[in-house]
Amino acid sequence: MSVLVWIEQSGGSAVASCWEVLGKGRQLADELGSPLVALLMGDDVAAGADAAQKRGADLVLTASSPTLSNYRLSAYADVLTAAIREANATVVLTSATLRGRELSAAVACDLSAGLAPDAVDLRIEAGKLVAVRSVYSGNILADITFKSDIQVASVRPRSFPLPEEGAAAGEIKALDVAMDEAAVPEKVLESKSAGGGEIALTDAERIVSGGRGVAQDPELGFKLVADLARVLGAAVGASRAAVDAGYIPYKHQVGQTGKTVSPNLYIAAGISGAIQHLAGMGSSKLIVAINKDAEAPIFGRAHYGIVGDLFEVLPALTEEFQKRLG
């Protein structure tokens, strides 16, 4: 028996939310009295394998091949299945990134194993995994229990703290899997990153979001949002109203039909606070509302508020933080 965690690599380095999952995996493995195993796949896995040891893995399985340099489901699913067999894993975890969700589902289906996608909490009860899922777009919580021996879950980023790095212990073992490029049907012809050091919403510790309040000058409004975000090292978010009005692309949308986020700090500028928006950011640790309308529902969920025009308040905040943070 073991707990196996896939450490996803992107652009040659490990995806940070996978360490959160490994940290939780350590706790589950200790409760089960079984080893914690990390799996790394790619064309260069040495640095990731080293980091996985330092973050608590008892055993690191690696699969290194040019065929694995780009993520492709067919190839990655074969390796993960081989790793589950090698480690005799009964709990299999990934981060709920796009790839993590797809890969965990594919392998769970292949093995007729139960799956808890995008879980927000995990625990052990009577030797079995119990996963908490947020369903109905953030409006209902459910505990997922498993009948199958192999129990698979993908874990929503920022559900668990990042584990500290310690001294490396345990062993690293290369998996014996033959990769055949000709057997992988998907071919990646071109790959481009969004660039500009853009912080992903779901990973962000801080988020500054804009809403309908930018309407009088949407371009300037979202520039002011982005300016403050840059000074704070924050990601840029938006309400559905702002996305539907075409002020900013959909990938920035936070809420029931957009991304679910839980940063330490969420600054909502010109967002009224519709229940659908709250469903996507209500678990943020500290919420700040900036709105002209003192009666806006967002103030009912915020910890701090400024009643005022975002076109005046945001530049003042940016200037203030520039002064203080240098």
Partner 1 sequence: MKIAVLIKQTPDTAELPKISAADASGGQVQATMVINPWDEFAAEEAIDLCDRFDGDSVAISFGPADAADALKHALAMGVNEAVLIENDADSSDSGDDWTTAALLAAAIKAQGEVDIVLTGKQSVDGNSGSVFVGVARKLGHPLLVNVLKITDVADGVITVQRGIDGGEETVSAPLPVVISVAKEINDPRYPSFMGIRKANREQIPTLSPSELGVDMNSAQTAWTNIRKPAERHTEVKIIEGASVPEKAAKLAEALIAEKVI
Task: Find the binding residues for partner 1 in span 117-156 (CB under 8 A).
Answer: 117-118, 133-148
* Cβ distance to partner 1 smaller for residue 56 or 100: 100
What residues numbered 185-224 form the site for partner 1, per CB under 8 A?
185-194, 198, 200, 206
Contact 309, 217 (CB under 8 A): no
Q: Which stretch binds partner 1 (CB under 8 A): 31-39, 84-92, 212-220, 278-286?
A: 278-286
Q: Quick one: CA dihedral 247, 278, 121, 257, positive or negative?
A: negative
CB of 81 to partner 1, least distance (A): 11
CB of 296 to partner 1, least distance (A): 11
Among 35, 114, 213, 221, binds partner 1 (CB under 8 A): 114
Burial of 183 (0-12, 13-18, 19+ CB in 10 A): exposed
* Cβ distance to partner 1 smaller for residue 33 or 195: 195
# residues contacting partner 1 (CB under 8 A) = 91
Show the binding pattern over residues 25-54: x = contacts partner 1 (CB under 8 A), - = does not: ------------------------------
CB of 105 to partner 1, least distance (A): 4
H/E stretch holding 266 reads: strand 265-269
162 touches partner 1 (CB under 8 A): no
- Cα–Cα dist 21/15, whole Å: 11
CB of 26 to partner 1, least distance (A): 24
Burial of 164 (0-12, 13-18, 19+ CB in 10 A): exposed
CB of 66 to partner 1, least distance (A): 17
Residue bearing tokens 């915020």: 302
What residues numbered 249-268 form the site for partner 1, per CB under 8 A?
249-251, 256-257, 264-265
What residues numbered 279-298 form the site for partner 1, per CB under 8 A?
279, 282-283, 285-289, 294
CB of 68 to partner 1, least distance (A): 15
* Cβ distance to partner 1 smaller for residue 36 or 122: 122
* Cβ distance to partner 1 smaller for residue 33 or 246: 246
CA dihedral of residues 98, 157, 96, 287 (deg, nearest 10): -70
Residue bearing tokens 């928006």: 277
Contact 100, 4 (CB under 8 A): no
- In angstroms, the Cα distances linking 44 to 40, 47, 188, 189 are 9, 8, 18, 20
Q: Quick one: CA dihedral 102, 104, 106, 112, positive or negative?
A: negative
Burial of 242 (0-12, 13-18, 19+ CB in 10 A): buried
Q: Which of 211, 302, 319, 210 is nearest to 265 (CA)?
A: 302
* Cβ distance to partner 1 smaller for residue 171 or 216: 216
Show the binding pattern over residues 79-108: x = contacts partner 1 (CB under 8 A), - = does not: ------------------xxx-xx--xx-x
